Amino acid sequence: MDSPFQLAQQMAQLDLEQRQALLMIASGAPMATCLDALTEAVGRLAPGTRACVLLTNHDRSEMAGGYSSHFPPSFSESVRGLPIGEALIGTCGTAIYAGEPVTCADVENSSQWSPAWRRLCLENGIRACHSHPAQGHGSRAVGSFFLCLGEAREPNAWERRVAEFGALATVIVVERERAAAHLRKELDSLARLQALSAELVGPGQFELLLKKILAAAADISGTDKGNIQIWDPDKRSLRIVVHQGLGERLVAHFLEDGWDASCGEAARNIQRLVVPDVLELEALRGTVGLEIVVEDGIRAIQCTPLLSRDGRLLGMLNNHYRQPGGPSPDALRYIDLLARQAAELIERHQSESELAKERQHKDEFLAMLAHELRNPLAPMRNMLEVQRRSRGNWQQVMEANEVMERQLQQLVRLVDDLLDVNRINRGKLELRMENVAVEDAVRQAVEMCRPALDARGHQLQLTLPSQPVAVNGDSARLTQILGNLLTNAAKYTAPGGLIQLQVESSGPRVLITVQDNGSGIPQDQLDHIFEMFSQVDRSLERSQGGLGIGLMLVKRLVEMHGGSVQAHSEGLGRGSRFCVALPQAELETPPLPLPLAPRDSIPRRVLIADDNADAAMSLATILKMEGHHVQTACSGAQALSQGQVLQPEVVLLDIGMPDMNGLEVCRRMRQLPWGRAITIIALTGLGQQEDRRQSEEAGFDAHLVKPVNIKLLTDMLSTLPMQKLMASFGTGM
Ligand code: ADP
């Protein structure tokens, strides 16, 4: 037994050693220096003993070597890699395993431990030993403090106490070291993230940048394996775009088909999935996928969805680990940051590709538009020349007129379609809903397309239901829908074709089918045919003109009527069928038409004001031919001064004039004595409800859209004084 004096001395020495050890640790001395010094201090505190610190690896599955100032490095090295467990690593392993001190008082005669351990001890002169677990944060042992005696005996209480001190100090050193390593790793990861962010801001190559993100995610989470997939919403599939460290078979197997794998599950739930052990995953059991994954040396997987800012799935960032467990919570934090970067990169890449596609579409469209505009212009110019040279050959003049009228009609349709597309895209297209007999819309559409049908010698078969059917819709737009389908049927069918238009009542819907026996549409294009600028043959040399917007207009207009349209074709050369379904309405009897006013052509005093001199002059010529007395003005101010002199009965006013617009001119005319009761008609390119409202407010009697329907205008002039006609008359040429 030690005397109280001896004990007090020992305690004072322990206190001193403790202070020195703590100072050394706090000074930032390397771990090896601290631990070697610790074993030396223990030797001083308990003379006749020697000591060694043995450490475990991170997940405490095996020994990671040790430190000692008493034993050669080969001693602690000989335990490196040994699995921790009672039998294999003697007292130290057992102390770590059990979490409490373990003693062996007679190494030579103890049968409890493995022969390898006993041999190691005896070779190093260890006859008895005491291992104290070094238990760190949350009682997790980071290693064991190994106190060795030269003779076979139990360690005394002081020696046990000293070993405990050694274990405690070991914990402090190791945890300081691990915290520093952790900090270093965090700093490395942050530096890497920052470098990546800087790169991502620049132009860089998409796949190369994705690869860098993937490499960082793999590195930071302690693996070399992984891939990034991109989500294709059309195919509903995940496609691997970059990968690293994965075998060919694995990449080929999951290349397009990740939907059923773990990444697919994470993608479906839009939530990260960590599979700590693929062998434990019920869904994978017995699958080829599992066989391939195991063959690739994978035990754990993490799958993180890549989401756009508005929460859409863009892809997946996946890593694969050789050991069960997967990434640490810290690594997952970095994976989240990298996933954000990858998502932003993908989103940016996709919108850039979209923009490039749009730009290309726009260029193609402009090329096609120029081509389409030029097409009717060439025959018009030719026919003008014919008229100039025909010198009284009435037949030739009439023929030339017909050609020019047809071509002009085509130009007007082209411009109207373009304006409609623009209105639809801006949500500005309004329907004027009324009860429409479908038969009426069909007849008007047929009338509109008759020249095109006749020009190609097509036969048109109409099948109408025995009882008339009706829809609630805009009659002009319904005519436009059917007109577009009939025009296409005429265009895409070789001369002498058969075109059938059938209307039938089918429960709550009216079905209208336009079928032809023409060129047909390839199966793979049927889904896209209604998209803007979509054309089966996009070459400028194709025989049929068009901008590829007719069907898009058909679809949007049908949808605005609450209906749907579908295209069918058995393939190229096998005809096409377009089916429009519209909600059916009760047919209302239309009110009796008002008796038509007499059509005598009474000569009127007409003033035309338009800043486009040709437009004013050509309209004046026509009206003069009808017997009217006409004057023209090329500005608002001139219109006001000429009006004073002419005292017109009718003024035709262009709205968009530079000095004073037509609305203002009209307002002023209405203030003047001669303008109060006359008829003032607006001529304009704008025919929306708002435009008509403005005209009415300014004091106009009618609002006509250019190019003006001449017959309508001359009828108006012969029936003065007229009722207000604020309806926007279309361009019906
Ligand atoms: P456009 O006729 O001006 O090219 P559309 O939007 O009307 O534009 O039609 C788009 C494309 O659909 C056409 O270019 C043509 O390839 C195809 N298409 C439309 N209707 C038919 C039809 N009846 N038969 C064969 N192809 C058609």
Mean pLDDT lowest for which of 1-10, 181-190, 205-214, 502-511? 1-10
Give the integer Cα–Cα distance in Å for 589 and 412. 33
pLDDT-based confidence at residue 223 (cuts at 50, 70, 90): very high
Tokens of 717: 């002039």
Indicate if ligand 1 lies below 6 Å from the C-beta of 575. no
Mean of the pLDDT values across residues 350-359? 89
Q: Is 536 near ligand 1, meaning CB less than 6 Å away?
A: yes
The finding on whether 516 has its CB within 6 A of some atom of ligand 1 is yes
Taking the centre of ligand 1 as the mean of its atom positions, its distance from the CA of residue 437, in whole angstroms, is: 27
Q: 434-585 with 605-718: one CATH topology?
A: no
Q: What is the pLDDT of residues 546-560, one digit of tens each?
A: 778 889 889 999 999
Q: What superfamily in CATH does domain 434-585 come from?
A: Histidine kinase-like ATPase, C-terminal domain (3.30.565.10)
Kindly report, residue by residue over 90-141, the tens digit of the pLDDT: 888 889 988 999 999 999 998 888 888 888 899 999 999 999 999 977 778 8
Residue 338, ligand 1, Cβ within 6 A: no
CA–centroid distance, residue 644 to ligand 1 (Å): 54
Q: Which atom of ligand 1 is nearest to the CA of 546?
A: 3
Q: Is any atom of ligand 1 closer than 6 Å to the C-beta of 339?
A: no
Name the residue at shortest CA distance from atom 16 of ligand 1.
536
C-alpha to C-alpha distances, 611 to 43, 651, 656, 726, nearest whole angstrom: 110, 14, 8, 23
Say if ligand 1 is within 6 A of residue 519 CB: yes
pLDDT given at position 194: 83
> How far, in Å, is the centroid of ligand 1 from the Cα of 487?
9
Which atom of ligand 1 lies nearest, measured to the CA of 542?
14
User: 596-644: per-residue pLDDT in tens?
Assistant: 444 556 889 999 999 888 888 888 888 888 889 999 999 999 999 999 9
Ligand 1 atom 23: residue of nearest CA: 489
Inter-CA distances, 598 with 396, 591, 593, 595, Å = 34, 21, 15, 9
Among residues of the chain, what percentage have pLDDT more than 70? 93
Q: Looking at domain 4-182, does it have CATH number 2.60.40.10?
A: no
Atom of ligand 1 nearest to the CA of 552: 6
Q: Which protein residue has the closest C-alpha to ligand 1 atom 13?
A: 535
Q: For ligand 1, atom 11, name the residue with the nearest CA.
A: 535
What's the 624 CA to ligand 1 centre distance in angstroms? 43
What lies within 8 Å, CB to CB, of 260 at 6+ separation is: 289
pLDDT of residue 618: 86
Mean pLDDT of the chain: 87
**Listed residue (267, 302, 269, 264) closest to 283, CA to CA:** 264
Q: What is the DSSP string of 38-72?
A: HHHHHHHHSTTEEEEEEEE-TTSSBEEEEE-SSS-
Q: Is 517 in the pocket of ligand 1 (CB under 6 A)?
A: no
Sequence ranges of the domains in the chain? 4-182, 201-354, 373-425, 434-585, 605-718
For ligand 1, say whether the CB of 49 is within 6 Å of any of its atoms: no
Q: Is the CB of residue 167 less than 8 Å from the CB of residue 92?
A: no
Residue nearest to atom 7 of ligand 1 (CA): 550
Which homologous superfamily is 201-354 in?
Answer: GAF domain (3.30.450.40)
- Per-residue pLDDT, 516: 97
| Per-residue pLDDT, 733 | 38
Atom of ligand 1 nearest to the CA of 551: 6
Q: Model confidence over 43-96: pLDDT tens digits?
A: 999 999 999 999 998 878 888 989 999 999 998 888 888 888 755 678 888 899
- Residue 289 Cβ contacting ligand 1 at under 6 Å: no
Helix/strand/coil percent split, the chain, to 5: 50, 20, 30
Cα separations in angstroms, 532 against 411, 412, 548: 19, 19, 6
Task: From residue 176, give the alpha-carbon distance in Å to each of 2, 53, 65.
Answer: 35, 16, 18
Mean pLDDT of 203-216: 89
Taking the centre of ligand 1 as the mean of its atom positions, its distance from the CA of residue 15, in whole angstroms, is: 95
pLDDT-above-90 percentage for the chain: 50
Residue 591: predicted pLDDT: 57
Nearest-angstrom CA–CA distance, 41 and 68: 11
pLDDT in tens, 135-189: 977 778 899 999 999 999 999 999 999 999 999 999 999 999 988 888 888 888 8
Residue matched to tokens 């089966």: 536
* pTM assigned to the model: 0.54
- DSSP annotation string for 170-231: HHHHHHHHHHHHHHHHHHHHHHHHHHHHHHHHS---HHHHHHHHHHHHHHHTT-SEEEEEEE
DSSP code for 594: P
Instruction: State whether the beta carbon of 410 lies less than 6 angstroms from ligand 1.
Output: no
- Tell me the average pLDDT across 520-537: 82
Q: Is the CB of 497 under 6 A from ligand 1?
A: no
**Range with the lowest mean pLDDT among 5-14, 192-201, 339-348?**
192-201
Alpha carbon 158 to its chain centroid, in Å, reads 72
Residues 545-581, buried b or exposed e (16+ Cβ, 10 A)?
Answer: ebbbbbbbbbbbbbebbebebebebeeeeebbbbbbb
pLDDT digits (tens, 9 = 90+) for 226-256: 999 999 988 888 999 999 999 999 999 888 8
The more confidently predicted of residues 595 and 85 is 85
Strand partners, 232: 237
Question: What is the distance between the alpha carbons of residues 598 and 720, in angstroms, rounded to a whole number?
Answer: 10
Could you read off the pLDDT of 326-353 as tens digits, one per residue? 999 989 999 999 999 999 999 999 999 9
518 lines ligand 1 (CB under 6 A): yes
Ligand 1 within 6 A of 417 CB? no
Identify which of 519, 535, 541, 558 to mutate to test ligand 1's pocket (most ligand atoms within 8 A of the CB).
535
Rounded Cα distance, 631 and 654, in Å: 14
> Is residue 32 scored above 50 in pLDDT?
yes
Chosen CATH of 605-718 out of 1.20.140.10, 3.40.50.720, 3.40.50.2300, 3.30.1540.20: 3.40.50.2300
488 Cβ closer than 6 Å to some ligand 1 atom: yes
DSSP state at residue 719: T
Amino acid at 614: D
